[in-house]
Amino acid sequence: MKPITSLLPVWLRPSTGGSADEDHAGALFGPPAIGVQPRRLDLSEGVCASLVVTGYPREVGLGWLEPLLTYPGRLDVALHINPIPPAVAASRLRRRLARLEAGARSDYEQGRLIDFEADAAATDAHDLAARLARGEGRLFQVGLSLTVHARTPAELEEEVSRVRALAAGLLIDAKPTTFRALQGWITTLPFGVDLLDTGRTFDTSALAAAFPFTSPDLHADLGEHAVLYGVNAASASLVMWDRFTCDNHNSVILARSGAGKSYLAKLEILRSLFTGVDVCVIDPENEYQRLAEAVGGAHIALGADGVRLNPFDLPPGAHKTKDALTRRALFIHTFIAVLCETPLTPPERAALDRAIVAAYHHAGLTADPRTWTRQPPTLPDLATALGNDGDPAAGELAARLAPYVTGTWRQLFAGPTTTRPDSHLIVFCLRDLPEELKTVGTLLTLDVIWRRVTDVNRRKPRLVVVDEGWLLMRQAEGARFLYRMAKAARKHWAGLTVITQDAADVLGSDLGQAVVANAATQILLRQAPQALDQITDAFALTDGERQLLASARRGQGLLIAGADRVAFDVVASPGEDALATTDPAVLAALESSDGLGEFEEAGSGIEELELHTDLEQEGGL
């Protein structure tokens, strides 16, 4: 056993006769003097007393230590965890079971009443032994110690009484460390030393429930892709959520303009990148460009000179499937319907189908997969095939496509694809597109992203973020495509995020409601008064939740995941805030000479992410 002085920090050890400079350097890190009393320590800045937990409840729930962690006074909580080797754990359990069974048998033979506490302990020990035998958990030696601080001894006595009362309310028995005040205080310091040595055996589930950084309102498991959403509005616990451990990986964010929905989405994107998730974003207002540039992502501005997307492109690895050409033809039907903005008549649909087949055949792409590596046709080729069809319906449809083939809107379609981005973060910006083309631009970019997601040669977790999803929801064909994507994303290890400020457009249609229903993660920020009734009915909100959404601050909202619901406040570091904010005043300050330095300093924290993603690209990950 080591002497106590060998376990003390340098500034608590007696002088060793070294130089005065060494003694002075040690004193800089601690109080100049410590007075040791039987139940307290007198420090230069006040007094403190330590408590050790000797009794625990029979069952604990998630976040059962949260009341202690969120105590309003100054309270240090130390949890010392030591794993018990499986062989030792099994031996101890056998001896414990033997004692309990022997006691129960003796009570029965002597005619004594049943000891219900011993009976419950025996049942728990049997269950624990069964779980250990199946490999479902392990045993740990856990010591829980508390240190209460105050300014005066009178205040300390009151604070200790409050803490012990709070612990008693949690069915925790906290005893003062009488004549061991110094050891109790050192045990709660961040040294990893437990001088009290009053551990209690915990199994894996009970210990996991004591983890201090999880909200007790969320019951899903946290995997390797868990991200921080914010701080629990009802406590100081953190709200962490892993979409990839849910039934599906989709989410919806509904909020009024200015409530912070895009801000939250950017934080989730940035934090997801750190966990190895690839992200594709459809950005209607060029809000994600700074984020993409900061992390070394790709930014594609649709509508700019020379930027084109060809809807006739076949997906990567198309030759490995037998129906790739048929699926592409079906998408062309959806694309033309959205482009024309009105439903096609049966004769027009028939003429369009013939023209699609003719355009592909003219380009040399047939039902033979070996031909699918050739250059695909373009929209002008489809218009030519419609013009050569001879059917009046085909001619009328070709006339409706003229503005997009030879007119003022041809720059996005009239030619082969000019860019094929390949990055961990790809942002498609729609700001430069005319208002009439934003819906079809959203559809085109979704199609490009979907072809990337379904590439069997590059399987990895991905997020697809559709900002201002109402642009696609207002078109029946576009909403249907988004619904199909929401249904199938899980099969390809992808999650779809739909962000919209117009809840009425999403919830006012059957397809919109289906998209929301297929999102395991639903986030509601502040809502407009006109939409509260519809939101309340759709999400079965309580009166308190309704009031929260009606009066929520910017960045405050409600996370709904099945039966779990938690109100939270979005939190961001200065570097994240500089990349996510869209406040014009803040952006103007950042662009000024003084603000530019602050932005560069704030963005320095993501250099590690840039290096990580560059290495991934070089390594072909």
Q: Give 115 or 20, the one with higher predicted confidence.
A: 115
pLDDT of residue 268: 93
Q: For residue 433, give every residue at least 6 positions away whose Cβ sits within 8 Å of its Cβ, in sequence order, or none.
A: 302, 303, 412, 441
Q: Give 524 or 422, the one with higher predicted confidence.
A: 524
pLDDT of residue 615: 33
Instruction: Lowest mean pLDDT of 42-56, 232-246, 329-343, name the range.
Output: 232-246
Percent of the chain scoring above 90 in pLDDT: 21
Over the stretch 496-520, which tens digit does the pLDDT of each residue have? 999 888 777 677 778 788 888 888 8
Do the domains 238-300+427-619 and 318-405 sit in the same CATH topology, yes or no?
Answer: no
- Alpha-carbon torsion angle 216, 222, 228, 234, nearest 10: -10
Measure CA of the first residue to CA of the last residue in the chain; give whole Å.
50
pLDDT of residue 182: 92
Instruction: Report the DSSP pairing between strands 494-500 and 462-466.
Output: parallel
pLDDT of residue 215: 56
pLDDT of residue 307: 84
Over the stretch 456-473, which tens digit does the pLDDT of each residue have? 677 889 999 988 887 777
Total number of residues shown for the chain: 621
**Which helix (H) or strand (E) element contains residue 227?**
strand 227-232
pLDDT greater than 60 at residue 595 = no
Most confident region among 47-51, 119-123, 231-235 by mean pLDDT: 47-51
Over the stretch 250-274, which tens digit does the pLDDT of each residue have? 999 998 888 888 899 999 999 999 9
pLDDT of residue 163: 94
Average pLDDT over residues 49-71: 83
Q: Give 489 or 91, the one with higher predicted confidence.
A: 489
Most confident region among 126-140, 312-326, 365-379 by mean pLDDT: 365-379
Q: How far is CA 57 from the centre of its chain?
A: 32
Helices (H), 454-583: 470-473, 476-488, 503-507, 510-517, 532-539, 543-551, 574-580
From 3.30.390.50, 3.40.50.300, 1.25.40.340, 3.20.20.150, which CATH number describes the 238-300+427-619 domain?
3.40.50.300
Q: How far is CA 69 from the centre of its chain?
A: 23
Burial class (CB in 10 A: 0-12, 13-18, 19+), 542: exposed
pLDDT greater than 80 at residue 566 = yes
pLDDT of residue 120: 66
Most confident region among 150-159, 194-203, 593-602 by mean pLDDT: 150-159
Please state, as a whole number, how many other Cβ atoms lie within 10 Å of the Cβ of residue 524: 26
pLDDT of residue 240: 85
Write down the domain spans for the chain.
39-209, 238-300+427-619, 318-405
- Return the half-sphere exposure (C-beta side, CA atoms, 13 A cut-off) of residue 22: 8
Cα–Cα nearest to 303, from 447, 440, 432 = 432
Please state, as a whole number, how many other Cβ atoms lie within 10 Å of the Cβ of residue 383: 23
pLDDT of residue 596: 41
Mean pLDDT (the chain) is: 80
pLDDT greater than 50 at residue 613 = no
- Return the half-sphere exposure (C-beta side, CA atoms, 13 A cut-off) of residue 500: 20
pLDDT greater than 80 at residue 552 = yes
- Alpha-carbon torsion angle 172, 177, 181, 184, nearest 10: -50
pLDDT band per the 50, 70, 90 thresholds, residue 455: confident
Contact 160, 59 (CB under 8 A): no
Average pLDDT over residues 551-580: 88
pLDDT band per the 50, 70, 90 thresholds, residue 534: confident
pLDDT band per the 50, 70, 90 thresholds, residue 181: very high
Q: For residue 448, give every residue at least 6 positions away whose Cβ sits within 8 Å of its Cβ, in sequence order, or none.
A: 309, 428
pLDDT band per the 50, 70, 90 thresholds, residue 18: very low
CATH 1.10.8 fits 318-405, yes or no: yes
Contact 72, 87 (CB under 8 A): no
pLDDT greater than 60 at residue 238 = yes
pLDDT greater than 60 at residue 603 = no
